[in-house]
Amino acid sequence: MAICRRGPSDGLVCVIACVYWTKGILQGSLTHETGMPVRAKKLVGTFILLAWLAVYTLLCLQFSVHWLPDSHLARLIFFPLAGILWVFPVRPLLLWMRG
């Protein structure tokens, strides 16, 4: 490798360089998995995220109107829970958008 240099500890330098290089490839930072630039991924992901939030909001609204009991305790539990749960299906999309 070009990163390796000759010297008293050239073996250690080569090993460290190879470990970081391999780690970068395995995490996808040195290679492009889809070939799509990060800016394009973020643009596409933003539109998908907005569409998902619109659908999720309508589903939560329909559920709260038709099936949720008419009590303050049910609403106190449902709405904060619904406000947190939308993140879990979106996590793979956010990881993909990151790069």
CA atoms within 13 A on the CB side of 84: 4
Model-level pTM greater than 0.85? no
CB atoms within 10 A of CB 62: 11
Distance in angstroms (rounded) separating the CA atoms of residues 49 and 57: 12
| Per-residue exposure over 71-82, b if at least 16 CB sit within 10 Å of its own CB, e if not | eeeeeeebeeeb
Distance between CA atoms of residues 82 and 80, nearest Å: 5
- pLDDT tens by residue, the chain, 99 residues: 444 445 555 444 444 444 444 444 445 544 455 589 999 999 999 999 999 999 999 999 999 999 999 999 999 999 999 999 999 999 999 999 998
Q: Residue written as tokens 């390796």?
A: 4
